[in-house]
Structure 1
Amino acid sequence: MGNSFEDPEAKYLAIINGERQYSLWPKGIPVPSGWSIAHPEDSRSSSLAYIDKHWIDMRPRTMIEAPTNAGPISRAD
């Protein structure tokens, strides 16, 4: 058995987490906690196309929604 994440003939899901980050996920492997199905079972290429179309900002949701005028973050020494 080869790598389930790279089998071009396998079926895949596009999954998304609370930070709106996407991942290609092999069908038949349980979806990890904190992730949900964004696009149902499909071919590898179709699932990747879905991710490419919908994941237009690679920053996590919390970074996108962070105030832009928050100023520098200070470190606790």
Structure 2
Amino acid sequence: MDEQMMRVVINDENQYSIWPEGKVNPIGWENQGFTGTRAECLEFIGTVWTDMRPNSILKILK
């Protein structure tokens, strides 16, 4: 089982991903504030990312 610490990151489109703790975030991604194992981070994302449509699409639909 992979116990490497990861963190949840988010971009301007309100899309979530995970990134290894201790590495610089990719350009355009910011820390969301949750750190844990891969499984814990994915579980967290599953609870908070309920609408997977990017912000740019949501603006068009409004």
Aligned: 1:63 with 2:45: no
- Aligned-pair CA distance for 1:23: 0.4
**Structure 2: stretches of 5+ with no match in the other structure:** none
| Higher radius of gyration, 1 or 2 | 1
Post-superposition, which runs of at least 4 consecutive aligned residues in structure 1 deviate over 4 A? Answer: none
2:31 corresponds, among 15, 33, 37, to 37
**Structure 1: stretches of 5+ with no match in the other structure:** 1-6, 69-77
Normalized per residue, which structure has more helix? 2
- State the alpha-carbon separation in 2 of the partners of residues 42 and 54 from structure 1: 15
Q: CA RMSD in A?
A: 1.6
TM-score, normalization by structure 2: 0.84
Count of residue pairs the alignment pairs up: 62
- State the alpha-carbon separation in 1 of the partners of residues 53 and 11 from structure 2: 13
How much identity, in percent, do the aligned residues show? 34
Where does residue 75 of structure 1 map in the other structure? none
Partner of 1:66: helix, strand, or coil?
helix
2:6 corresponds, among 12, 34, 51, to 12
Aligned: 1:48 with 2:20: no
